[in-house]
Amino acid sequence: MDGIGTNRLEAFSDGVIAVIITIMVLELKVPRDTTLSSLRGVLPQFLSYLLSFLVVAIMWVNHHHMLHSARRADARLLWSNNTLLFWMSLVPFVTAFMGNHPRDPRAVALYGVVLTLCSLSFALLRSAIIQHHRDNPDVVHYHRGIQFKNLYSLFLYLASVPLAFLDVRISFFIFVFVALSYFLPERKLAENS
């Protein structure tokens, strides 16, 4: 593994993800007063933030594990990682939009679009890492197994977009379901990678 290149890539990615989480929390507005009705008024924004924090944290944990199996920081890995970070950087915007309009199917669908594109970018990043290990069928098998999980997430997120116009609760269920299915990080790769 090109430790220097992949270490720099991971450090850069960690910094971007930390900024994403910081921006999300800054979007939370303090209630006007301390009454229960004021707290209820910010509940949709808080729940949207909570969901997005969980999604971004899961992405970060799995991204961390995935990058540790990269052999080198080649152009394909760098650009697929930047693509992922681009779509992740839009999570604070769609989180705030959905939090302010939780019953509007357009806001919920846009959240689903961004998560779909994050999931697609994860699949592209994993494909770049699979290419590093073409000579090791065990490692390729491991990553292809996890790639299946990336793809079912992608299709569920994609389904959440039109389903938001049927009933936003279906899309919310999909968002929570996918997040919970990723709650545990990916298994650590064997040392022979």
Give mean pLDDT in consecutive 10-residue pieces for the chain, a chain of 193 residues: 68 92 90 86 93 94 83 87 96 96 98 97 89 78 80 95 98 95 60 42
Residues 35/104, Cβ–Cβ less than 8 Å: no
Contacts of 132 (CB under 8 A, 6+ apart): 69, 70, 71, 72, 74, 77
What is the rounded distance in angstroms from the CA atom of residue 141 to the CA atom of residue 187?
Answer: 13
pLDDT at 32: 83
pLDDT at 185: 52
pLDDT at 91: 97
* Distances, alpha carbon 75 to alpha carbons 6, 79, 128, 176, in Å: 12, 6, 9, 34
Q: Where are the domains of the chain?
A: 3-181
pLDDT at 193: 42
pLDDT at 171: 98
Contacts of 2 (CB under 8 A, 6+ apart): 71, 72, 73
